[in-house]
Structure 1
Amino acid sequence: MSQYDYDLFVIGAGSGGVRASRLTALGGKRVAIAEEHRVGGTCVIRGCVPKKFMVMASDFTHQFEIARGYGWDVQATFDWKTFLEAKDVEIARLSGLYAANLGKAGVELFHGRAVLKDAHTVEIVGKKTVTAERILIATGGRPWVPEDLPGIEHAITSEEAFHLPELPKRILIAGGGYIAVEFAGIFAGLGVETTLIYRGPNILRGFDDDVRAHLAGEIEKRGIKVILGCQHESLEKTATGILNKLENGHQIETDVVMFATGRVPHVKGLGLETAGVRLDDNGAVCVDEFSRTSVDNIWAIGDVTDRMNLTPVAIREAVAFHETVYRDTPQHFDYEAVATAVFSQPPVGVVGLTEAEARHSCAKGVDVYLTRFRPMKYAFTGSDERMLMKLVVDADTQRVVGVHIVGPEAPEMIQLAAIAVKAGLTKAQFDATCAVHPTAAEELVTLKEKQSPQNMAAG
């Protein structure tokens, strides 16, 4: 008989925590999980899933514009409250499924905040205290805002954006990452006068420079005002809205101000220090390649470790944890060539190295293949929107080490392109693949002309 109440206690019922707890319970272990909000975590409740619904809702405006070019006379209005109700019903259904699946696997679910009292003891605040042989931290991240900015209390984050009681007429979004860019597209698509402000020289820091420049131009075509190299000086509540005072001396009044200035690991008040769990300078839980913390019986996965903050990665880390700890097959997730998408409008899909990264890591240089073209769907609309596709190839091995797409269906395409990049396929193998015509994706296997240094400088 074990001296502990549970074999595994998981703190955080998001995608990673749920997967780890279910696998372990299905393997015959006694497992409990605690969640202080709703089962499903960031992705299901206040992240990827509701955001994608909002992206799809807002994109109809663009689709209606295209439809007119094809002869459709579209008369449509949008009702924010109807959308919110439909979205909330679906999120509740998904959260319920997650909770039900935990129950079917035999996982005991605690609704409440869990705090570590020592390396084996967890208090579910206000309810009970339990012990566990092993503990898994999977609490994810939370939005970060500059708390010392005057008037910051008047701003919202992405979490509140999902529940605005009414659609604003004017919004300013601070930030240049994928969350800021995605919500700028959402609100602009729903008819909101949208301004995006970012302190850096261009949006989507860390992405390929051609992608960043191309997307910045394309979102402005969708009516988003982009202000770069600038940030807030203060926010001031007025009788008619919120006055955004910027460091360049300009002032912009909007109804809502949203800060999407990054996320931080959710570790506050978890008792990690008490249990001896070490954090890095950014507040993330320090782990080794197998997700073990500085305490032998405590592990951590997902955004709380600040390694690669993507839902599918957290799930893979959960599987690796289970295989390592409970199936005696030590393994860790391979973070190389992980595809990702930005559901901006137009969307972005990327996998592998940026051109700059490849030039640093490929000893004999890189070959770059790039094309910009008008998607066939826009032929009748008079739109000047352009799609971008880019292949980055190791000049020595001819392996395709990066694929970058901006345009319609980019996220769907990049999932399949990721298989090729992960498998280490060469440009010749891309070329040997017969095109599907007429599609945008065929450009990936028909790119022939390398970018010259002059073209790259001009592009």
Structure 2
Amino acid sequence: MPTFDFDLFVIGGGSGGVRAARMAAQRGARVALAECAELGGTCVNVGCIPKKLYSYAASYADAFTESEGYGWQFDSPPRFDWNVLKANRAKEIRRLNGIYRSLLEGAGVTLIQGWAQLADAHTVQVGDRRCTARHLLIATGGMPFVPEVAGREHVVVSDAMFDLDPFPKRLLVVGGGYIACELASIFNGLGAKVTQLQRTAHLLNGFDEDVRQFLAKEMGRVGIDIRFNCEIDMITRLDSGLCALLSRGQRVESDAILYATGRVPNTQGLGLEAAGVELDERGGVVVDKHYRSSVPSIYAVGDVSTRQQLTPVALAEAMAVVDALFGAGPRTLDYEFTPTAVFTHPNIGTCGFTEAEARAKFGKLDIFSSEFKALRHTLSGSGERTFMKLIVERKTDRVVGLHMVGPEAGEIVQGFAVAMRAGATKQVFDRTIGIHPTVAEEFVTMREPMPG
């Protein structure tokens, strides 16, 4: 039997990589982790965490205005300080970086700073250091993708949005996915004039059609200028900022242009091809149901592979790998009822199938939906509305899709996701007592399916 320096070598210190390294070490494995940047990966440093913090910041603008309907008065208008938000966010991220380091060191993981490359199926080179391991785990995540467009050197990607200097009074967002919609909502809430371009006729590809249409209406209601079936032909710099020439011949001037046109697996420069690891057409690592690549000693989890690009999914996949290598044995994950949220204003929460997907898979359905003004806004003066939808397989009465657009949608849908995972039927929903008065109770009080 060959002798290795480590039992597991993890490349990438994001959510999946840190979880795998820490849990494997706690089970007695000799583990090393290589990371060339700050620990925590995209989620902690330039993704989920700062995005949610900025979303909270943006929500205060509406709260200040809405509070007047409840009797609050201000001697002068509230003033937003972009630099204070950036500084406080950076402080919190540094704290989280430190927590990740402490967790790894406390578990006995060897941390190696630098860019790691595979030399072969069991060997990793990090700078001048060469290490061998019985198993290798690729957890390097994804990176923003910017298509070829004249003037692309003038644009920014989502990673840079949290430290823009100065704050963009005019922001042009290109893309219609969740990152584009979230950042459009956030910067609109913080006071920027936001224009959003989407090359197709809808936002949020892959989401339920009613959800997509409702969100677009709500985003437009608060002042975001969404233009569908529209692309940029060229970007130039002017004395007054940036100018985007659109495919329709229109011009849009802005202080910053964000391209949020998708993410691609971060596999370039890792030596995967040299080690014989098969990649798909997007550059992602092809893995089997146990996250093993085409090379038996090399595994991959999270955004770098070929499944759902969500932090909790990466964590679950990491644990599946650790269980297979250092635990009770192989197990598989079921991705069918993975809940997710989009932190637009208002939020989206969703679990299960869209209506189109459910019709294709199950056939006959019963659809329940409701649109209403929440109690909070009866005095706030806000025009914000909430949308909820249940999709029920008629044959079994099982709830196979649950969708919401409204305040705290992610918090609400998380609880219902447990019920859906357990196989809850519409009858179970109907027999559940609601908490009154709440928005969430609407999910257990919708009684009449939509006609047809």
Compute the TM-score of the two structures, normalised by the length of structure 2. 0.98
Q: Which residue of 2 is the match for residue 141 of structure 1?
A: 142
**Any conservation in 2 of the 1:321–1:332 contact (CA below 8 Å)?**
no
Q: Which residue of 2 is the match for residue 456 of structure 1?
A: none
Deviations 1:338-396 (CA, angstroms, capped at 9, x unpaired) = 00000000000000000111111113x10000000001111013332210000000011
Q: Which residue of 2 is the match for residue 55 of structure 1?
A: 55
Deviations 1:21-41 (CA, angstroms, capped at 9, x unpaired) = 111111111100000111000
Matches within 5 A, 1:151-230: 151-230=151-230
Matches within 5 A, 1:390-409: 390-409=389-408
Tell me the CA shift for residue 100 of structure 1.
Answer: 0.9
Q: Which residue of 2 is the match for residue 113 of structure 1?
A: 115
SS in 2 for 1:19: helix
SS in 2 for 1:162: helix
**Counterpart of 2:111 in structure 1: which amino acid?**
L
1:290, 1:29 → 2: CA distance? 19
**Any conservation in 1 of the 2:66–2:381 contact (CA below 8 Å)?**
no
Matches within 5 A, 1:296-375: 296-363=296-363, 365-375=364-374
Q: Which residue of 2 is the match for residue 457 of structure 1?
A: none
Q: Which runs of 4+ in 1 moved over 2 A?
A: 381-384
Deviations 1:8-59 (CA, angstroms, capped at 9, x unpaired) = 1000000100010111111111100000111000100110001000100111
Tell me the CA shift for residue 2 of structure 1.
Answer: 5.8
**Counterpart of 2:425 in structure 1: which amino acid?**
T
| Mean CA deviation greater in 74-83 or 170-179 | 74-83
Q: Which residue of 2 is the match for residue 69 of structure 1?
A: 69
SS in 2 for 1:368: strand
**Counterpart of 2:438 in structure 1: which amino acid?**
T
2:321, 2:220 → 1: CA distance? 44
SS in 2 for 1:196: strand
Q: How many residues align?
A: 450
Tell me the CA shift for residue 187 of structure 1.
Answer: 0.4
SS in 1 for 2:428: helix
**Counterpart of 1:25 in structure 2: which amino acid?**
A
**Counterpart of 1:111 in structure 2: which amino acid?**
Q
2:328, 2:348 → 1: CA distance? 39
**1:22 maps onto 2:22 in alignment:** yes
Q: Which residue of 2 is the match for residue 38 of structure 1?
A: 38
Deviations 1:263-296 (CA, angstroms, capped at 9, x unpaired) = 0000000000011000011111000000000001
- Quote the RMSD (CA, aligned, Å): 0.9
**Counterpart of 1:413 in structure 2: which amino acid?**
I
SS in 2 for 1:210: helix
Q: Which residue of 2 is the match for residue 131 of structure 1?
A: 132
Deviations 1:77-122 (CA, angstroms, capped at 9, x unpaired) = 0101111110000000001100111000000001100000111110
2:33, 2:381 → 1: CA distance? 54
SS in 2 for 1:379: helix
2:383, 2:81 → 1: CA distance? 29
Compute the TM-score of the two structures, normalised by the length of structure 1. 0.97
Q: Which residue of 2 is the match for residue 438 of structure 1?
A: 437
**Counterpart of 1:389 in structure 2: which amino acid?**
M
Q: Which residue of 1 is the match for residue 88 of structure 2?
A: 86
1:441, 1:102 → 2: CA distance? 39
1:118, 1:337 → 2: CA distance? 37
SS in 2 for 1:103: helix
2:382, 2:85 → 1: CA distance? 28
**Any conservation in 2 of the 1:14–1:40 contact (CA below 8 Å)?**
yes
SS in 2 for 1:33: strand
**Counterpart of 1:202 in structure 2: which amino acid?**
H
1:65, 1:229 → 2: CA distance? 34
Tell me the CA shift for residue 316 of structure 1.
Answer: 0.3
Percent identity over paired residues: 47
